[in-house]
Amino acid sequence: MANIFNLNSNDDVIVFNLGGLALEFHPTDEKSKELSDKALELKEKAESVTEGDEWEDRRTIKELLDDFFGVMFDAGTPEKIYEAAGKNTWSYLKVFLQIADAVMTTKQKQENDETFKKYLAE
């Protein structure tokens, strides 16, 4: 008699619900590397933004977020998120911060997974 094991090997997909919009982030190694690189790039660009014209600052921030969401999801997703955020840059930024927090929380949870600890401790 055969032993059958049903394994859930891809349980780290993160789903974000934003109004009627559902987004799935599949953290593959390649995608995670791209996001890490993009986060560093965005940090550098954000630090170079100087306070000046509020509308110019909003445009710059939106472009940075569009770039990030394009890498994280796909090229059409930034506009969908922006629309779901009421076409307001500060709300769009708030969505970004919430998504970044969720990704970091999930990553920390995965790094502390008891299954890994059990087998890596041996």
Please report whether residue 9 resides in a domain.
no
How confident is the model over 51-87, as pLDDT tens digits?
Answer: 778 888 889 889 999 999 999 999 999 999 999 999 9
Q: Which residue has the higher pLDDT, 46 or 4?
A: 4
For residue 53, the enclosing domain spans 27-120
Please report whether residue 115 resides in a domain.
yes
How confident is the model over 11-20, as pLDDT tens digits?
Answer: 678 999 998 9
Please report whether residue 21 resides in a domain.
no
Please report whether residue 20 resides in a domain.
no
Please report whether residue 42 resides in a domain.
yes
Count of domains for the chain:
1
Strand-pair partners of 17:
22
Strand-pair partners of 25:
14
| Per-residue pLDDT at 78 | 97
